[in-house]
Amino acid sequence: MISAHRLSPKSLAPKSFFTLFALFAVSCPVPGAEAPGFLDVVALVDSLDFAKNYDIETPTGTVQVLEHVLLTHPTDIWWRDKGGGRMRYPSECETWPLSEAPFDPKRLPSEDIYGWLRLESPRADFWPLIREECARRGLRFGIHTTLEENHWYSPLASNWTLAHPEFWSRTRHGEPWMGCCSIFHPEVVAHKLKMLDERLALKPEAIMLDFWRNGSWSFAREYSAPALAEWERRHPGEPAPVHTDPRWQSMVGERFADYLRAFSAKCRAAGVRFVVGLPGIDDNDDAALRARIGDFGWRALAREGVFDAVFVLSVAMDPADPFGSTERIYRSVRDSVGGGADIYYPLAAYNMEKCGIGEYARRAKITEGAAAARLLALARDCGGRGVVLECVDFGNYKPEVNLAIASVAEEPRDTEKNSP
């Protein structure tokens, strides 16, 4: 049954068939699946995705978003703080008006409402409201932030980036990229850490740095002047190699690891847990991740204790053996991290990374509810602290999936021991 702290009386109102079905489902067993036992359930939430369903510029609409997300039975709510160069809170680092510009109509039709939303200069301060509502319902509150200030590969750069072309990332051929800046510039790292201070002031229990929404940053875009100078110092007279060269990745990875350590230190000083979210994990030395981002030695950093937790956002599973290959990947992550950080495995409704719940169901010829139950059991059996719902939008987690999640979300929990 649903715990009293999960859903408020308002959220129990029969607003739709979907709501009624989901509420009825939690009292019924998943056919052919056993309850996998205790796990944390972390819901990543982008309120902007609910703009067509609720008035997200108001406190009432914000609470409605939260109540809809509760249908997935989360133990943790991680709210997105930015996207597409637009902040979701009043920011001194990223100020009005440039980053408040409408979204590119080539990607979102002009008749949509997204370009008119104002979440940087809101009529109400939503963050204390979200934090307090989570506390009232017994949920932990975290912030889901993106690696770069513009999390899409798009012309929507952040204000600070637009104002500092001298720091822009460059390709090996010298082509600039206005979407992100090179971490070899100390000023860039200082700006990022100042923005972290703003997020810490929102008083989350944890912050997740999302490498999937990375603004197209990669090791291929780190050919800035100071990076090339560092290469010359290490390899006199030798031209900079392609970004897949292990020596280049090692050099850039060292600088990036220093940034992550500084990020971690600020979080620890504030009593906030630092979590990193990684896509495309495999059991072959992370070849899939390295091809997209590069090698920054995340497994070694996890063993070092830089991260309090690792969110595996997606895996490079084998379509011919979906659950078997996933188990191998999960065990590889568990064994390599070696207890240095808690691990959370994916439970994705979307299939953009070809490892969504529906993909497993289709490949294994089972229902999505049964597929979700098997993934939950794998997360438990492979040493996971919990699962990540990436991300929860309006109605994208089906009632049968919510039913499977309910089997693990209603257990009594030790908030000290089981905190991401």
Q: How many Å is the Cα radius of gyration of the chain? A: 21
3-class secondary-structure state, position 277: strand
Q: What is the DSSP annotation of 195-246?
A: HHHHHHTT--SEEEEESSS-TT--GGGB--HHHHHHHHHHSTTPPP--TTSH
Q: Domains (ranges, CATH) in the chain?
A: 10-409 (3.20.20.80)
Query: Structure tokens of 171?
Result: 């390709």
Asked if the model's pLDDT at residue 100 lies above 60, the reply is no
CA distance 359 to 255: 37
Query: In which element (H, E) is residue 151 found?
Result: none
Judge whether 150 and 159 are in contact, CB under 8 Å: no
The 10s digit of each residue's pLDDT in 23-33 is 333 333 333 34
- Averaged confidence pLDDT in the chain: 84
Its pTM stands at 0.86
Lowest mean pLDDT segment, chosen from 101-115, 170-184, 276-290, 382-396: 101-115
CA distance 186 to 259: 10
Asked if the model's pLDDT at residue 397 lies above 60, the reply is yes
CA distance 298 to 211: 11
What single letter denotes the amino acid at residue 232?
A: E
Residues 6+ apart with CB under 8 A from 349: 356, 357, 358, 389, 392, 393, 396, 397, 398, 401
Higher pLDDT, 61 or 94: 61
Within a 13 Å sphere around the CA of 366, how many CA atoms are in the beta-carbon half? 20
The pLDDT score that the predictor gives to residue 382 is 96
Most confident of 88-97, 159-168, 239-248: 239-248
